[in-house]
Structure 1
Amino acid sequence: MSKGRHVCFLTGTLNAMAGAERMTAVIANALAESGHTVSILSLWDKDSCFPLHPSVGHEALFAERPSFKKAYLATVAGIRRYCRDRKVDVLVQVDTMLALFALPATVGLGVEHIAWEHCHFDEDLGRRARRFARRLAARYCKHVVVLTEGDRQRWEDALRPRSHVVAIPNPLPFAFPVEPAPRTAKTVLAMGRLVHAKGFDVLIRAWKQVSAKAPDWNLLIHGEGEERQALTALIEELGLKDNVSLPGICQNAAEAYRNASVFCLSSRYEGFGLVLIEAMAFGLPIVSTDCKRGPNELLQHGRNAWVVPLDDATALAHGILASLDNASLADQFVECGRNSATAFDLKCIARQWALMLYQ
């Protein structure tokens, strides 16, 4: 039975294998499963990389990504028409940049706005307009959802928002694994878009040092992106073609975690770092950089992970080698990590969203 109001998630596209898009589908599905009226409006491309609950309607304003400078008015008009015709009560902007479209589009319609920030506050991803969009969201949205407590505090301190800023972490997108990974394969796993922010260049340089002491181990980096060519060239330059692979986007994350023995995150910054929670749930010891914002809240060095400085290939190599050499400490990290990951159960996070929607 429908639970009152119509909640619409406004996103750029669902047809991209990326974290924000994945979480849009996961949260929308969970709310629909519990009886809420939920829809998703993409700005472009009506296809989705992620399965959607049968009751979640998904439409797109444009078949392909337009130039939003040229199509700004058409985009605003399309959002307004959708919200008016579908009687949308709550519009969740799956990126604070979307406030630039959503807020003017709904003037006078009585729509409540929630801005969902997936990037940490001190990173604008090279778009200065994001800073302005955050100010709009802080002033005119009813709620702003951020992923960590540290980011919630940054919003409060920097913007003094009228909005209610709430920290709701990303959930595990799958049921909690009953059994941890066996950790029998000599494989270190990494996942993420092949972009500068993920620091895979540092990880590959670190692996040069790892392979010198553990030549029978392999590094598997799942993902796709603009740095594929540069990373492939680096692998060849360092002579690592036999034990470093870039197999592309992971189609079965659960299988990848089960077939690994260590997980490594080499990022320069992260909004949250969902892959850390996933790896913990599957019982993989973690080696991670001490980057903002999620990892340095999720991880404690020596308790549930090896945490090393940013952009330091030697430190990263030492952390990886420690995870291979110290089985008892790795087991301790696994137990602690599995316990920590239970707090990110999807039903628990969906309840937090549902409570906020009716505040």
Structure 2
Amino acid sequence: MTAAWPRLCFLTGTLNAVAGAERMTATMANALAGQGYAVTILSLWDAASCFPLHPAVRHEALFASRPSFKRAYAGTVAGIRRHLRANRTDVLVQVDPMLAFFALPAALGLGVRHLAWEHCHFDEDLGKPARRLARRLAARFCEAVVVLTERDRRRWLEALRPRSAVVCIPNPLPFAVPAQAAPRTDRTVLAVGRLVAAKGFDVLLRAWAEVVPQAPGWRLTIAGEGEERATLEALRDELGLSDSVTLPGIYEDVTIAYKLASVFCLSSRYEGFGLVLLEAMAFGLPIVSTDCETGPRELLEPGRDALMVPVDQPAALAQALGRLIRHPGEAAALGEAAREKARTYAQEQIVGQWETLIARGKNPSGER
């Protein structure tokens, strides 16, 4: 590529957190840098990253640690503006509509094309009512809002009637589809995610208490870290599951966990997308998932590549897990179908959709 191609900046809170939005920021920045784009990532705080970055990706942070943004508001806006001007940014991608409060004034008058990237679903504000206002600002003043599912795109259009384009671009599989599916020889049910209430691991533990008496030798692994660890460990012990449930924390290479699993379970109360579903599907794991908004309903087909159950119902979750444990043929068929579907989310295809969106701002000659 030549200098005529747009220079990109991804604006995020931090990259030093193991979570889906942060992982996707690094994944997409790396992929676009690999295509030849000039890419920077500007974190509001902490210049460290939990994820490897392409050598061509420049990562900077405004603050060493998370400040009070009420007190540091003016400095945050000024810092973003300095970064945009210093790097002659053409396209700014804010990795959360909440960042509109900083990014919109920071980019004012600079001629920067402004995209908002939504990783949650429209009807969830994550305990921050200001998120609703931020979404309205993004829908009015950004060139485009990128959402992860068609269901969420329809909600944005219905609720806000935005001036901005609302574009559905799903998350890509962060790694290449493995050459071989998981062997599924270990008697392990795997769950992966932050240890927070939204992931419903308390429901999963209660379900597992019903499963384990009928599944001798089977184990449940919940991989991840978060504020609910102590609560979940206490519940595990209270339910008498210490011999069959492990919480090993964060895997440096999460693909190891998938290779050692035979069934994957997503017990979330809500999801913006459900990246871990794609990862499990790529390894050919049969899936039991809650039928929550919005990702699982779009990624999965009940009875074809997954079993789906209502949210917050341990008995239904236990019944579905027990069914796959008792019927390995059905589990294998679900896993094969899931693996085929995962191929449609290959990184090359999704990066192409981002490039198409970015190219909208170029004239036919390809010059800025």
Distance in 1, Cα, partners of 2:311 & 2:144 = 32
Residues 1:63 and 2:84 are matched in the alignment: no
Which SS does the other structure have where 1:190 is aligned? strand
Distance 2:185 2:5 in 1: 50
For residue 219 of structure 2, what is the amino acid of its counterpart?
N
Instruction: Give 1:138's aligned residue.
Output: 139
State the shift of 1:348 in Å: 0.7
Q: CA RMSD in A?
A: 0.8
Taking the aligned partners of 1:227 and 1:330, their CA distance within structure 2 comes to 30
C-alpha separation between the residues in 1 aligned to 2:69 and 2:240?
Answer: 44
Following the alignment from structure 2 to structure 1, what is the Cα–Cα distance between the partners of residues 186 and 51?
29
- The aligned residue for residue 282 of structure 1 is 283
- Paired AA for residue 34 in structure 2: E
Residue identity matched to 1:170: N
Q: Which residue of 1 aligns with 2:27?
A: 26
Map residues 46-85 of structure 1 onto 2, 5 A cutoff. 46-85=47-86
Q: Which consecutive segments of 4 or more residues in structure 1 shift more than 4 A?
A: none
How far 1:189 moved relative to its partner? 0.2
Q: CA deviation at 1:109?
A: 0.6
The 3-state SS of whatever aligns with 2:9 is strand
Q: How many residues align?
A: 359
**Equivalence map 1:292-307=2 (5 Å):** 292-307=293-308
Match of 2:207 in 1: 206
Q: Percent identity?
A: 64
- Structure-2 separation of matches of 1:254 and 1:227: 23
Local SS of the residue matching 1:183: coil
Q: Structure 2: 5+ residue runs without aligned partners? A: 361-368
Given the two structures, how large is their TM-score scaled by the length of structure 1? 0.99
Which residue in the other structure is 1:176 paired with? 177
Deviations 1:17-49 (A, max 9, x none): 111000000000000101111110000011111
* SS of alignment partner, residue 59 of structure 2: strand
Structure 1 residue aligned with 2:238: 237
Residue 103 of structure 2 corresponds to residue 91 of structure 1: no
- Match of 1:310, SS? coil
Give secondary structure in 1 for the equivalent of 2:71: coil
C-alpha separation between the residues in 2 aligned to 1:279 and 1:222? 13
CA distance in 2, matches of 1:299, 1:173: 18
The Cα of 1:302 is off from its aligned counterpart by: 1.0
Question: Where in structure 1 are there 5+ consecutive unaligned residues?
Answer: none
Query: What is the CA–CA distance in structure 2 between the aligned matches of 1:236 and 1:330, rounded to whole Å?
Result: 29
CA distance in 2 between partners of 1:251 and 1:357 (Å): 32
Residue type of the alignment partner of 1:175: A
Q: Distance in 2 between matches of 1:14 and 1:36?
A: 20
Secondary structure at 2:252's aligned position in 1? coil
- Aligned mates of 2:302, 2:355 — CA distance in 1: 34
Distance 2:307 2:327 in 1: 11
- Which deviations, in whole Å up to 9, do the C-alpha atoms of 1:173-224 show, x marking residues without a partner? 1111111000000000000000000000000000000111113100000011
Quote how far apart the aligned CAs of 1:240 are: 0.5
Alpha-carbon distance in 2 for matches of 1:304, 1:46: 40
Aligned AA for 2:43?
S
Counterpart CA distance in 2 for 1:229 and 1:177 is 34
Structure 1 residue 250 displacement after superposition: 1.7
Q: Secondary structure at the match of 2:41?
A: strand
Match of 1:249 in 2: 250
* Corresponding position of 2:353: 352
What amino acid is the match of 2:290?
T
SS in 1 for 2:184: coil
1:344 corresponds to which letter in structure 2?
Answer: Y
Q: Partners in 1 of 2:229 and 2:64 — Cα distance?
A: 27
Match status 1:15 vs 2:16: yes
Offset of residue 346 of structure 1: 0.4
